[in-house]
Amino acid sequence: MARIPDVQKLLRDDIISGAIPFGSRLRIDELASRYGVSHMPVREALRALSGTGLVVLEPNRGARVRTVHMSFVVDLFDIRSAIETMLARRASERRTADHLRDLKAAEELLEARVASEDFLAVPHANNVFHGVINEAAGNPGALSMVDRNWLLVAAIWQRYGYDEGRFHGVINDHRHIIRAIERQDAGSAAVLMGAHIEKAKHDLLDRIAVDPKPDIGLQ
């Protein structure tokens, strides 16, 4: 029998890959049969994934994969931009030598993933990079808000894929952000972070508009 963490990972991976589409009703009996487990691990997995934004628990109606549409994507990135712009500013003011070391190591890892064309691993490396900045900012409440939806953003990107050109732009943005934080130039770090997230938002919206998927709405 699979353990609870295994069920959570299996369900998460099925949602991210699109095997279970956005908006799908998640029935405990069906998931227990799908993964060969009892009801309890499935319930625990659903509760855990509801904390990531991937799953929505509805009173008296059960669970479903979050419904995604373009206006939701816009809202998601706008919230992230507002918070991460502030965090980049604070990180520039509060960063330590250890933070700079970790930030450069995270960027080296991301660039290594891109160079080896391991594009499936890039979202995690990107999350590590942003996580170092957010940790350096020293605002746990804001950090939890950013972290909550990173799997959801990764799932949407996964549905549309990446092209090499986008990653070169990400790398260029990251290098400029690192330099601003290293100089403790809070204003530049905030502007660069805001522009970085805006570019990501528009890149993703363009991909959705050109090639809409059945489980993502255009409203």
What are the structural domains, with CATH classification, of the chain?
A: 4-66 (1.10.10.10), 69-217 (1.20.120.530)
pLDDT (0 to 100) of residue 45: 93
Q: Give residue-wise pLDDT tens across range 55-69.
A: 999 887 889 999 888
Residue 149 token pair:
């939806």
Residue 44 token pair:
């625990």
Cα gap 135→130, rounded to integer Å: 9
Q: Give residue-wise pLDDT tens across range 110-158.
A: 999 999 988 878 888 998 999 999 999 998 888 777 877 788 888 888 8
Confidence at 218, pLDDT banded by 50, 70, 90: low
Contact in structure between 57 and 47 (CB atoms under 8 Å): yes
Please report how many Cα atoms fall inside a 13 Å half-sphere around the Cα of residue 29, on the Cβ side: 0
In the predicted structure, residue 206 carries a pLDDT above the cut 50 = yes
Cα gap 13→161, rounded to integer Å: 15
Determine the residue type at 23.
G
pLDDT (0 to 100) of residue 164: 63
Residue 106 token pair:
């995270």
